[in-house]
Amino acid sequence: MMRPDLEVAVYLCREPVDMRKSIDGLSLLVQEAMELNPFEEAVFVFCNRQRDKVKILAWERNGFVVWYKRLEQERFKWPEASTQDVMTLSGQQLNWLLDGYDIARMTPHKSLFFESVG
């Protein structure tokens, strides 16, 4: 199975994207709409309006790579669009998103603060 490295920077485009876009269209979208450098060491993640297709764009040393996933029945739990059209994720969060988890609702245990042991 091919998945992005857990340590890679991940930029998620929250707005739906036309999945007919290929490398040139996606890299231009990264540069113009997301205002990011498509050649940096990162992955750029896009989803369609129906939330059943994802494309991931990455620059790898001497060329672009596009990774494409189409769901047969389910839908991706895509974070809602907000004032920021670009969302930063960790590699682990991206893998959770690809596995169908709703990363917006995942909350860790509450933090505890103590001043003594007894």
Q: Which whole number is the average pLDDT over 4-33? A: 92
With a cut of 60, say whether residue 77 has pLDDT above it. Answer: yes
- State the Cα–Cα distance between residues 42 and 55, nearest whole angstrom: 14
Instruction: Return the minimum-mean-pLDDT range out of 34-38, 71-75, 83-87.
Output: 83-87
pLDDT digits (tens, 9 = 90+) for 46-70: 999 999 999 999 999 999 999 999 9
Q: Average per-residue pLDDT in the chain?
A: 87
Q: Which residues fall within 8 angstroms of residue 107, CB to CB, at 6 or more apart?
A: none
∠ Cα 48 56 36 (to 5°): 100
**Confidence label for 31 from pLDDT (cuts 50, 70 and 90):** very high
Strand order in the sheet with 63-70: 63-70, 53-60, 42-47, 9-13, 86-89
pTM: 0.83
